[in-house]
A and B are shown apart, each in its own frame.
Chain A
């Protein structure tokens, strides 16, 4: 089933009776060439690129819940490539390019909207740092424009420019940044993978990983044992528990990150706006809700919900930056479970077990990485070699101290990012 404007028109005129499910809800087979543990955005894109780029179609994605029910459906949907550190910079640059071709590639409307991201600065020092970051983004081949105060006012006239504590000095505009419909990204990759023969198996929780003589043999699940020559762990939020089934301990602590959405209102915020000094960022969904968030609650948690102090902090930061949103009623808040690594950067690597691979540690930046992570992880699983843009996401960088990617320069230590 292909989507097209003509098809939408025809279905609209004929009662929408011709639509079929977008992917097959498969039953597990006894054996596969490869198994992906985790049917989130990264797992589904890994399966898609394994099938598309590496010809591996006898594979399964095992999801303990349902497709799109984890972090891929719990984020604030921001897509960008404004990183600075070698390793991160080329990876997110590659991922953004994949975003730009994804909807055509998948024949699926992910509502990718390059509405532009504006990071605000409030001091000369911060403006200098943004100028440096912008230059490094341009050097990577991506886009960045430094805006002065009047430049920001042109786009965001509703900000409190003369705030006493955080007057607005300017901003860094990344025009190719924006948002996407997160559920559609999961569904689009699921459909693309399923069409190529990948089995997407929901309600199938992995309970053990079978290893013999240092070689992975398959997995135990709530729906029986499944053999496989290769297994990829892609379960950000639960990485520690699944890795423990293979006897591994990871350099990861799970933390909670909250997000909020208001009732739908008329279009008012055209961009993604970030207020780093207040740990606040916001965009408006196509449905009209203001989607915003802040910083981690900053204690280890798997609760998928946060506590009141951070909610209060986020609301205060929002009101400080743009008092006009004060009358919008908050509809919902929720929390996502973040795989936090010591240096704030992710991991895509082999493990000590032959045939077992891991993709984890996305901290609070996993959504924009969905296409890039799947592409690079599929390359690693398919060829056995690291994919150049993700080659620095090594698991052993903490042990050796070599190749730490500390984007925020706060130190490579837990609880600092």
Chain B
């Protein structure tokens, strides 16, 4: 598996550390309540197919990336800087 880092280009999967579902970009407010926090911390869509997750390019530029990929085929469809995705959400 190779991941196309927007800064460094196509790199081996070994340079990246998997940080989990991209739900982390959507952190609830501190007072959002137990259900919202349980959902954020524990519950997952866990799709068989297209998913979005966060990867850290720890062996490269250090960027946090949002990777859109397929959990069944391991194909990587899109890689964006997490800062750009987060910026577009606000």
Interface residues of A (CB under 8 A from B): 238, 240-241, 249-254, 298-303, 307, 309, 342, 398-399, 413-415
Contacts and interface: CB of A to CB of B under 8 A. Distances in A.
A413 B43 CA distance: 11
Nearest to B1: A307
B19 interface: yes
B13 A413 contact: no
B14 A309 contact: yes
A413 B53 contact: no
Nearest to B34: A399
Instruction: Give the bracket for the number of chain B residues in contact with chain A.
Output: 20 to 34
A399 B44 CA distance: 13
Q: Which of B12, B35, B46, B48 has the most CB of A within 10 A?
A: B46
B43 A250 contact: yes
Q: Which of A299, A300, A399 has the most CB of B within 10 A?
A: A299
Nearest to B46: A240
A249 B45 contact: yes
A294 to B, nearest CB: 15
B5 to A, nearest CB: 16
B74 interface: yes
Contacts of B68: none
A215 B10 CA distance: 51
B44 A253 contact: yes
5 contacts: A252-B44, A299-B53, A302-B48, A309-B14, A398-B38
A415 B72 CA distance: 18
A414 B18 contact: no
Interface string B69-90: 0011110000000000000000
A252 B71 CA distance: 14
A302 B72 CA distance: 5
Q: Which of B39, B41, B53 has the most CB of A within 10 A?
A: B41
A254 B74 CA distance: 13
A414 B44 CA distance: 10
